C-alpha cells in the first residue's frame, strides 16, 4: 500500500475513536459546552500527531488497534491547547472556521441575545471550559487502553502529566514572555527552546508513547522510544519554523488562520529575530510599528514580509528548517536501520515539510 493510502487509513480509524469519546462525555455536558468542546474536531486537521503515534507503534512491532485510544488522546491533547491558545492570542480563525471563543460568543448572542461585551466574555469562558473538558478526555482515553498492561498505561499517564504537560505549558508561557520583551534582547536559542517545548514536546510524546505501546514497556525504559522522541522533536521544530514562514508568505486558505496574526500579536519568531539583526535602523523602526499592533494595516504587513525576504531571514529560516529535518532523519536511520521499518515515519516527516518545498 502506498504511504498516502496508509495514512488516510489510519486517520479513518482515529476519527471514530475521537468522536465516540466526545459523544460519550458530551452526554454529561450542556449543549453550548458540548458544541464548543467538539467544534475543532468537526473539521479535523491533518492528524499529524495521532498518525505519528500509530506509525511509531507499528515501527516498534505493535498493532495499530492496540494504540488507537492513545492516538485519539494526543489529538485531543493538541486540540485543548489550541482552544486555550486561541483565547490567549485572541485569534478568530482556526482551520478556516471561527475559533472556540468566537463560536461561544455567537451562541450566547443567538440564544439569549447577549450584548456584545457580555457575549465575548461568555464565549471566552466557554472556550476555557471546553479546553478543560478535553483535558479530561485525554486522560480518560489513556485509561481505556485495554490491551496495554496497567503498568504501561500508568507510565504513559505519568509521562503525559509529569513531563509533557509542564513542558508544553512552559513553552506557551515562554512564547508569551518573549512577546513582552524587546526584540533586541532575545536570543535565537530562546526561540528555538520555546519551539521545542511548545511544538516538539507533544510530537516527542506521540513517538515515545507509540513505540512504548508497540514494545509493551514504559517509554522511560526504551532506547527506541528515546530515539523516536528525538526524531519527532526535531521534526516539530522544523515544522514550527515553516509555520512561521507560512504565517508571512502563505494564504489564509492554505493556513486556515489569519495571515500576519503573528506580527499583529507581537510574536517573537525566529524570522523576526533574524530579520531584526540584519535589517537597517529604518526597517527596524517599521517593524517596531507593526509588532504587537493589532491595527497594523495590510500595507504594513506586506512591508514586513519584504523586510523578512530582503534581509535574508526567510531564506535562512527555511534552511534551518531543512537542517532540523535532515538531523531528524539521521536519528531515525540510526534507530531503525532497516529501510522497510522506517519508511512510513520518513513519509510522515516528508508530509510535515511538504508545504515549503
DSSP state of 94: E
- Looking at beta carbons only, is 133 or 331 nearer to its own copies? 133
CB 72 within 8 A of CB 18: yes
Closest to its own copies by CB, 31 vs 96, is: 31
CB of 129 to its own copies, least distance (A): 5
Of 153 and 230, nearer to its own copies (C-beta) is: 153
Q: 134: which 3 cell numbers? A: 478535553
> Is the CB of 173 or the CB of 258 nearer to its own copies?
173
Residues of the shown chain interacting with its own copies in the complex, contacts defined by CB under 8 A? 25, 28-30, 32-33, 84, 87-88, 90, 108, 111-112, 114, 118, 121-122, 125-126, 128-129, 131-133, 135-140, 143-144, 150-151, 153-154, 157-158, 160-167, 169-170, 172-174, 176-177, 180-181
What's the CA angle centered on 312, arms 311 and 317, to 5 degrees? 130
Query: Is residue 318 a contact partner of residue 283, using CB atoms and an 8 Å limit?
Result: no
**Residue nearer to its own copies on the CB measure, 19 or 318:** 19
**Among 197, 208, 32, residue whose Cα is nearest residue 122:** 32
- Phi-psi map region of 222: left, alpha, beta (phi>0 left; psi -120 to 50 alpha): beta
Provide the minimum distance between the beta carbon of 141 and its own copies in the complex, in angstroms, as a whole number: 8
Cell of 289: 510599528
Contact predicate 210/142, CB 8 Å = no
Beta carbon nearer to its own copies, 25 or 316: 25
Amino acid at each position: 500500500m502506498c504511504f498516502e493510502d496508509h495514512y488516510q487509513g489510519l486517520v479513518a480509524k482515529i476519527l471514530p475513536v475521537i468522536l465516540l469519546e466526545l459523544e460519550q462525555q458530551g452526554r454529561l455536558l450542556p449543549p453550548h459546552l458540548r458544541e464548543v468542546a467538539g467544534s475543532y474536531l468537526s473539521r479535523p486537521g491533518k492528524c499529524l500527531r495521532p498518525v505519528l503515534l500509530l506509525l511509531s507503534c507499528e515501527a516498534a512491532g505493535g498493532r495499530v488497534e492496540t494504540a488507537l485510544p492513545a492516538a485519539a488522546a494526543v489529538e485531543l491533547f493538541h486540540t485543548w491547547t489550541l482552544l486555550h491558545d486561541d483565547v490567549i492570542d485572541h485569534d478568530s480563525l482556526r482551520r478556516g472556521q471561527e475559533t472556540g471563543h468566537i463560536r461561544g460568543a455567537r451562541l450566547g448572542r443567538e440564544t439569549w441575545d447577549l450584548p456584545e461585551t457580555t457575549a465575548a466574555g461568555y464565549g471566552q469562558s466557554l472556550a476555557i471550559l471546553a479546553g478543560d473538558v478535553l483535558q479530561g478526555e485525554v486522560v480518560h482515553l489513556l485509561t481505556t487502553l485495554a490491551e496495554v498492561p496497567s503498568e504501561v498505561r500508568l507510565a504513559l499517564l505519568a509521562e503525559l502529566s509529569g513531563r509533557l504537560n509542564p513542558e508544553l505549558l512552559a513553552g506557551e508561557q515562554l512564547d508569551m514572555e518573549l512577546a513582552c520583551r524587546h526584540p533586541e534582547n532575545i536570543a535565537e536559542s530562546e526561540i528555538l527552546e520555546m519551539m521545542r517545548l511548545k511544538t516538539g514536546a507533544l510530537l516527542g510524546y506521540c513517538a515515545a508513547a507509540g513505540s512504548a505501546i508497540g514494545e509493551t514497556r514504559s517509554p522511560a525504559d526504551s532506547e527506541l522510544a528515546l530515539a523516536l522522541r528525538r526524531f519527532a522533536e526535531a521534526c516539530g521544530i522544523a515544522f514550527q519554523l515553516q509555520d512561521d514562514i507560512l504565517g508571512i508568505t502563505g494564504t489564509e486558505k492554505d493556513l486556515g488562520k489569519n495571515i500576519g496574526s503573528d506580527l499583529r500579536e507581537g510574536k517573537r519568531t525566529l524570522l523576526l529575530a533574524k530579520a531584526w539583526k540584519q535589517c537597517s535602523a529604518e526597517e527596524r523602526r517599521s517593524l517596531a510599528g507593526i509588532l504587537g499592533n493589532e491595527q497594523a494595516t495590510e500595507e504594513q504587513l506586506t512591508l514586513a514580509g519584504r523586510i523578512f525576504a530582503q534581509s535574508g531571514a526567510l531564506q535562512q529560516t527555511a534552511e534551518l528548517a531543512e537542517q532540523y529535518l535532515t538531523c531528524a532523519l539521521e536519528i531515525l536511520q540510526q534507530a531503525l536501520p532497516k529501510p522497510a521499518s522506517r519508511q512510513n515515519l520518513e513519509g510522515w516527516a516528508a508530509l510535515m515539510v511538504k508545504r515549503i518545498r
